[in-house]
Chains A and B, each alone.
Chain A
Amino acid sequence: MQHCALYNDGLTPETAEVSPQMSAGSLVFEHKGEPCRWPLSRIDAVDGWSSRPLRLKRTPDTYERLTLPAGSRTDEIVRHIRMHRGIRLPVISKFGVAALTAVVAMVCWGIFMGDVTTRFIASCIPHDVEKAMGRQAMESLLPLLSLNTTPEWCTSAESQAALDAMQSELLSPEDPQPYEIRILHSSFNNALAIPGGTILVTSALINDLQHPDELSGILAHERTHITQHHGTTSYVRNAAFSMVLKMFAANSDTLRMIGGSAQALMLLRFSREAEDAADSGAVRALHRAGIPISRLQDFLVRAAPPPEDGDTTLQLIDRYLSTHPDTPHRVKAMQAQYDALGTPPPRQSPLSSRQWQAVKNACSRRTDQL
């Protein structure tokens, strides 16, 4: 008897030498005087078919192991086993196809349905919850924006009345809800729409404005952000993406990094889309009130001047990494929309120069009470 393989019976660790032979579609050998028959169609490799020595097992697993040495006979046995088993798609390919399908489905959902879904979820959030979210966001934003742990608010009855008058010009039957407008003492030039219904304008921005219609345009823009729940939608989207990232990228630092970058780019894209939507809303509100958009356009050009040397590569990259669309695009789009709306109605009650002065001087009185 020729010994050419090692056999473990799966009952004890004892290794026996056996001499397997091919016979009638099976690998047969004798162990302790008992015949063993392994049908070729039910044999699998433990460490892969190319490894030598080759460890074989039966399927379903019986704990038995048969180890064949490296050599041409083993290669021949492998060929026979594989012929009997037929050409099977490797597990990795099966899994790969399934995983790629899942990924493609997820990406498609992200592209086509993610937007709709997150908007829907955001619109379902009760107003009180949205307000609480806005308060929480404001608490973390204010110290950064005012560079002070106790933010100061610019308050005067005259300025508040003027701001309210400005906002009432922008209200419409479709959008009748007036929002709270607050002026924050800050050296940063900014205006923000807080979810739930507060518009924050910084004192630096008020100082920088040259005409009341510029402020009307800004208020109309921020109002649209609130009405269309852009802040809340962004929050929902960010939370959903973070959850997916946590689920699937928990095992890989590289993937977490790539996923984090993708998340940042997605949020930037959404931010640019939201800015476009807010511009459109502002154009409609200004048109309805008979306010020209030229002042708002002037302000945008002043705040973010377009590059003089056209589109360089860096500027193109910057466009994709920016939270806002580029100024020429915004100005042009606003003009096209305004023109498409036709002749605006006559303006009812423009702000008086005294009211405008009250707004400009709002920060002569400050309080730290929110």
Chain B
Amino acid sequence: MHHENNVQAPAEAGETMHHAASDAAATAPFLAFTGTGKSLFFLYIINGLLTVLTLGIYSFWGTTKIRRYFWSHTKVQGEPLEYTGTGGQLFVGFLIGIVLLGLLALIALVTDMLFGPPAGTLTGILIALLFAPYAIFRSMRFRLAHTRLHGIPFGLEGSPVRFAGRTLLRSFIALVTLGLMIPWAYAKVTADILGNIRYGDKMFTFTGKPMALVKAAILPMLLVIVPMAAYVGFLVMLASGSLAGYSSSELRTLILIIASALGLLTFISSLLWQCRFIRWAATGMHFGEAGLTCSITPLRLFVALLKFMLITLFTLGIGLPWAIVGLQRFFMQLYEPTGDIVFADVHRGPEQHEATGDGIAQAFDFDMGF
């Protein structure tokens, strides 16, 4: 079909766009989420129905639609992000992951047959431990390589194998120090990811110091460790008969009070840790001369999570899309740039051919949750 009739662009639309173009970046918030609970609700319903009708096969395309929705409603200085991944890529990656899972089971079985029962399980765990960070890295690379802003894709540099090796070593250090070095290990892993992100051909830099996160983790850790030690001491006293003078109902009440206090302190500790980690990660990020700040506080996070929980609970889960949108908006408005973000020296970087990483990670249920 051939059309000769020309369609002229209208003056009013042109003016609107002109103003929008020049003013958008200046007036728009740094990050904003423009999705609505209603549209997300219908997206979830359709995805759910199609997933059930197709015995789950559609879930990969459903995940892609959800991601496209979230990406296109996330605006950076007024410009929406774009997700270019496809359901087919997730599906193929998942099938590869299933084959790898089968291979892993086979290796464990053969090792068991050759060296006796615990050998297979241990080999399986070791391979899975090594494979988890590898799959997570590739999953992150997939998501970044399929995210675009102004048409220019992001990317993640570095080798997933080296990342897996370093992560395994750090996990080992965290283990032998009885968990005390977990914040350090987590900081190093985070820096490995955030410091290797690029936009076009320009790398982000990450200046967050691991020891700063270790210091930030001291209070949240103490909030859990000290009452936990007290609780264990109480249980030891109980077992040794030192509390024989108390009646059983008094002891029950005491246990209830201590356990509740421990639960509350763990929750407070978790809020504190999350806020400190998010702030540490945000302030460490730089793009050229521009930095990032995050105004999250434990109280604000608590209120946002409480709202999320109440909406979900009182609507028996139907309100979940609205709660998710609310939480998304909450997180977006926390971030502010320091300094001007300059795109002038950015060019499209080399294309990253990451097609299956996310699907493989899904098959193993690995996700770092950045």
**A residues apposed to B, CB below 8 Å:** 2-6, 8-15, 17, 19-25, 40, 46-47, 51, 55, 61, 63-65, 68-69, 71-74, 76-77, 80, 83-84, 86, 92, 95-96, 99-100, 102-103, 106, 246-252, 254-255, 258-259
Nearest chain A CB to B4's CB is how many angstroms away? Answer: 7
Within residues 46 to 66 of chain B, which ones have a CB less than 8 A from any CB in chain A? 48, 50-61, 63
A83 — which chain B residues lie within 8 A by C-beta? 1, 3
B63 touches A251 (CB 8 A): yes
A21 — which chain B residues lie within 8 A by C-beta? 6-9
Q: Which of A6, A8, A51 contacts B17 (CB 8 A)?
A: A6
Q: How far is the CA of A163 from the CA of B62 in the complex (A)?
A: 61
Instruction: Decide if B343 is an interface residue (CB 8 Å cutoff).
Output: yes
Q: A22-B7, A73-B13 given as contacts; is B150 within 8 A of A103 (CB)? A: no
Instruction: Decide if B21 is an interface residue (CB 8 Å cutoff).
Output: yes
Within residues 1 to 38 of chain B, which ones have a CB less than 8 A from any CB in chain A? 1-14, 16-18, 20-21
Per CB-CB distance, the 6 closest pairs between chain A and chain B, nearest first, are A4-B14, A13-B150, A4-B9, A248-B56, A251-B59, A8-B151
Q: How far is the CA of A102 from the CA of B58 in the complex (A)?
A: 12
A73 touches B53 (CB 8 A): no
Q: A71-B13, A252-B51 given as contacts; is B6 within 8 A of A22 (CB)? A: yes
B20 — which chain A residues lie within 8 A by C-beta? 6, 69
For the residues of B in contact with A, the DSSP-based class is: mixed
Nearest chain B CB to A119's CB is how many angstroms away? Answer: 23
Nearest chain A CB to B69's CB is how many angstroms away? Answer: 9
Nearest A residue to B25 by beta-carbon distance?
A: A15
Can you name 19 A-B residue pairings with CB atoms under 8 Å? A6-B21, A11-B347, A13-B150, A14-B150, A15-B79, A17-B21, A19-B14, A21-B8, A22-B3, A22-B6, A25-B2, A47-B68, A74-B13, A96-B58, A100-B54, A106-B55, A251-B60, A251-B63, A255-B55
Flag B300-329 by CB within 8 Å of A: 1 or 0 each.
000000000000000000000000000000
B72 touches A47 (CB 8 A): yes
A12 touches B343 (CB 8 A): yes
Nearest chain B CB to A31's CB is how many angstroms away? Answer: 13
Instruction: Decide if B266 is an interface residue (CB 8 Å cutoff).
Output: no
B152 — which chain A residues lie within 8 A by C-beta? 8, 10, 12-13, 63
A14 touches B59 (CB 8 A): no
A6 — which chain B residues lie within 8 A by C-beta? 17, 20-21
B9 touches A2 (CB 8 A): yes
A69 touches B16 (CB 8 A): yes
Q: How far is the CA of A96 from the CA of B151 in the complex (A)?
A: 29
Q: How far is the CA of A83 from the CA of B7 in the complex (A)?
A: 14
A13 touches B343 (CB 8 A): yes
Nearest chain A CB to B76's CB is how many angstroms away? Answer: 10
A103 touches B54 (CB 8 A): yes
Q: How far is the CA of A100 from the CA of B200 in the complex (A)?
A: 40
Q: A11-B348, A250-B94 given as contacts; is B58 within 8 A of A73 (CB)? A: no
